[in-house]
Amino acid sequence: MTTRNAMLRAAAAWLRKEGCDSAELDARVLLKHALQLSDTQLVTMRDEPVDVEGREAFDAMIERRIAGQPVSRIIGQKEFWGLVFHLDPETLVPRPDTETIVEAAVEACRTAPGTILDLGTGTGCILIALLTEFPAAVGVGVDISDDALACAASNADLNGVAGRARFVKGDWGSDIDELFDLIVSNPPYIPHSDIAMLDREVRVHDPMRALDGGRDGLDAYSCVAGDAARLLSPDGVLVVELGIGQEAAVAAIMKDAGLEPDVPARPDLSGIPRALVVRRENPLGNHTLND
């Protein structure tokens, strides 16, 4: 009977042959999931034999990986902010770059927010991460997809914040009529003409509605800016994720909506401006009451 170690070596070799850059890591993650192993069991019990059912489950996962499916889609979950999130075909896979939004929001809030709004919530990862950082806060996640909302609600329950989060269907914030101390959003920002150049794992397996930002990638920012101008509390903060090279254009959209962006934007781990913090514009501008 084939052992775990033999299966792992064979799968990694197969993945390498098919051009997978992370063959060993992918094989380990998939084997762990297929056989429902802990990290310790994966390392210390490599010579354990694997039954036919386990081999078939693992082989099926490797075949899906070779066909171009991301590991996170195959196992149905992804880690973000140290938390685990279930995925759905209607949700983006949470990415490390998006953790920059959480970092910027935590830093930008002068006092702990009591209310948080997440526009385009997807898996709920940003909102749920923030609710773990602000244990007294309550939050609302908005999405146009029923399946995404169900996924986000299950993730809130999985991560212990279901009692402080609610998820509602809507077109951005158009159906919301309450004020929030913190608003966050990771809108679709890929220019339509760039979609065809995305990696296959993204282009084929992430929902197009969450990727395509229109002709210049900026369509959704006008909606977010208009809603934030209406829904931010007087001292509220908006944090939005940016695509590459979009900082100036998004900052201009925010200013047109009567909001004041903090520039420069917070960079991600690659040094790319990624999280733009926006506040209510001072109605007096740079003037004093005596001017």
**Binding-site annotation: residue ranges for substrate:** 186-189
Whether residue 259 contacts residue 105, with contact meaning beta carbons closer than 8 Å, is answered with: no
Secondary structure (3-state) at 190: strand
Beta strands in the chain (DSSP E): 77-80, 83-86, 115-119, 138-143, 165-169, 180-185, 232-241, 259-267, 273-280
Token pair in block for residue 104: 């910027």
In the annotated binding site, the residues are 120-124, 143, 172, 186-189
Q: Which residues contact 181 (CB under 8 A, 6 or more apart)?
A: 109, 113, 114, 115, 116, 137, 233, 235, 236, 237
Angle at CA of residue 19, ends 204 and 89, nearest 5°: 20
Phi, psi values for residue 168, rounded to 5° = -130, 145
Whether residue 1 contacts residue 47, with contact meaning beta carbons closer than 8 Å, is answered with: no
DSSP letters of 13-66? HHHHHTT-TTHHHHHHHHHHHHHT--HHHHHH-TT-B--HHHHHHHHHHHHHHH
In the annotated binding site for S-adenosyl-L-methionine, the residues are 120-124, 143, 172, 186
Q: What is the largest CA-CA distance in the chain?
A: 86
What stretch of H or E contains 205?
helix 200-205
Separation of CA 247 from chain center? 19
At which residue do the structure tokens 């489950």 appear? 57
Say how far apart CA 217 and CA 245 lie, in whole Å: 11
Give 3-state DSSP helix, strand, coil % of the chain, rounded to 5: 45, 20, 35
